[in-house]
Amino acid sequence: MARTITLKDIARRAEVSVATVSLVLNQKASRGTVRISEETIERVQRVAGELDYFPNLSARAMSGGKTSIIGLVLNEIKYSSAQLPLIYGITDLLDHAGFSLAMGRVTLGSPDIETEEIRIANRKGFDGLILEPTRVFLQEAERFKDSFRDWRHVVLINRPAAADYTTVGVDQEKMGYIATRHLLDLGHRTVAFAGRHPGIEDHDDPNAPSNMVARYRGYLRAIGEADCEEVTVAKGVDLLESENKVTAVYCALSYDGPDLLAACHDRGVRVPDDLAIVGQDESREKEIVRPAMTTVDMRSEELGKVAARAVTSLVDGAEVEDVLLKPELVVRESTGARVVVVEGSGSFAN
């Protein structure tokens, strides 16, 4: 194994003191009363590069210093088109704020992976952590406070508030409401919810995914206001095998809307004439499919920036309030309405 390069090695080759190397590499060479010539700064930086020097972040953290690294642990990414703009938003703001992003493994709902990733972030001395928590974390949030070097620097995204952690997210119930309300305002009276999950009807079931429960709750509120019948299926394509006379559907899972649209094309079901579809999560694919898909936009890039701004503010010692963004409805051809973007409230028929 190659020997770790130290500040002494750099100082020896650059022919300067260790203190000078430290000031240069920590970007303090021109701050306050410390003045180091540009020639010396360039020489130290060149030597550090030649020696492939990397700072010992764990040692820096143990000495009370900042690593300027924020960890990110997501619950899932494979089937969600909302996660990539979320990551971009986080990275973009962190970069402008002088922080780097370290992305851990995707937990896929596993509390064991989540616990290990939090421990790794703590061991490496990350300044803060953005976490899309599992159900276990939410149920035992108080216990997890001892897992990270400063739990106040942990920001939860897209989950209910838990044990005084800072939380940022998008109003999930509003998503289900505005999607369903849009279809009802267009005259549909049999509107289905695609995204049924074991335990979803029991709003207090700890095993049901919290985001899906909230979207379902919004759906129920909308059809309740319209005095319409509830119809739920696990996936949108299930409607094509059903005897229910459904004329419209809200696909509450990101990938489900495009899957249903493709199945309708294969089976000769006309969209929106035979079936109007609202999809979940705005993405390029939903804009370019034909007919272009009406979607609920989670504003993922903005959410990422809000989360990054929150965690960096916490690291800097500022007080931060929870944030709940409003979703937007992007109306396109799959519901037969005029193309328009509507904020998360009101009546949307066009």
Same domain? For 337 and 238 the reply is yes
Question: In the chain, how many domains are there?
Answer: 3
* Residue 100 belongs to a domain: yes
Let me know: does 90 contact 304? Beta carbons within 8 Å: yes
31: confidence class by pLDDT, cuts 50, 70, 90: very low
Q: Is residue 3 pLDDT above 80, yes or no?
A: no
CATH number where 146 lies: 3.40.50.2300
266 and 309 belong to one structural domain: no
Give residue-wise pLDDT tens across range 202-238. 545 545 567 888 999 999 999 999 999 999 999 999 9
Whether 282 and 311 share a structural domain: no
Paired tokens of 282 = 């705005």
Lowest mean pLDDT across 1-15, 268-282, 313-327? 1-15
CA-based nearest residue to 73, from 150, 139, 154: 154
Spatial strand order in the sheet of 340-343 = 231-233, 191-194, 248-251, 276-280, 294-297, 328-331, 340-343
pLDDT in tens, 126-155: 899 999 988 888 888 787 777 777 788 999
Q: Please give the structure tokens belonging to residue 224.
A: 């309740």
- Domain of 28, CATH number, reads 1.10.260
The overall average pLDDT reported for the chain is: 84
Residues 6+ apart with CB under 8 A from 347: 181, 185
Mean pLDDT of 24-36: 59
Among 41-50, 58-67, 314-323, 330-339, top mean pLDDT goes to 314-323
**How much is the pLDDT for 200?**
58
The whole-angstrom separation of Cα 158 and Cα 178 is 18
Per-residue pLDDT at 80: 59
Confidence (pLDDT) at 350: 42
End-to-end CA distance of the chain: 67
Looking at residue 348, its pLDDT comes to 38
State what percent of residues in the chain have pLDDT above 90: 45
Q: What confidence score (pLDDT) does residue 211 get? A: 85
Residues 206, 260: one domain? yes
Characterize the bridge pairing of strands 166-170 and 231-233: unpaired
What CA dihedral angle connects 96, 100, 106 and 112, to 10 degrees? -130
Regarding whether 123 and 49 lie in a shared domain, the answer is: no
- Please say if the pLDDT value at position 16 is more than 60: yes
- Name the DSSP letter for residue 202: S
Residue 49 in domain: yes
Can you give the residue range of the structural domain that contains 32?
7-54
Contacts 24+ apart (CB under 8 A), 260-265: 260/194, 260/235, 260/236, 261/289, 261/291, 261/293, 261/334, 263/236, 263/237, 264/240
Which of 83-92, 100-109, 205-214, 272-281 shows the highest mean pLDDT? Answer: 272-281
Q: What is the pLDDT of residues 186-195, one digit of tens each?
A: 999 999 999 9
Q: Are residues 227 and 279 located together in one domain of the fold?
A: yes
Identify the band that residue 27 occupies on the pLDDT scale cut at 50, 70 and 90. Answer: low
- Look at the pTM and tell me if it is higher than 0.85: no
pLDDT of residue 73: 92
HSE of 196, CA atoms in CB hemisphere, 13 A = 15
Whether residue 336 sits in one domain with residue 233: yes
Q: Is the pLDDT of residue 60 over 90?
A: no
Q: CB under 8 Å to 112, separation ≥6 — which residues? A: none
Length of the chain: 350
Q: Where are the alpha helices (DSSP H) in the chain?
A: 7-14, 18-25, 38-50, 57-62, 83-97, 111-123, 135-139, 172-185, 210-225, 256-267, 284-288, 300-315
Buried b vs exposed e over 181-193: b needs ≥16 C-beta within 10 Å?
A: bbbbbbebebbbb
Mean per-residue pLDDT, 310-327: 93
Q: What is the pLDDT of residue 244?
A: 78
CA distance 166 to 323: 9
Is the pLDDT at 120 greater than 90? The verdict is no
Residue 1: per-residue pLDDT = 42
pLDDT at 32: 44
Highest mean pLDDT among 36-50, 186-200, 266-280: 266-280
130 and 192 inside one domain: no
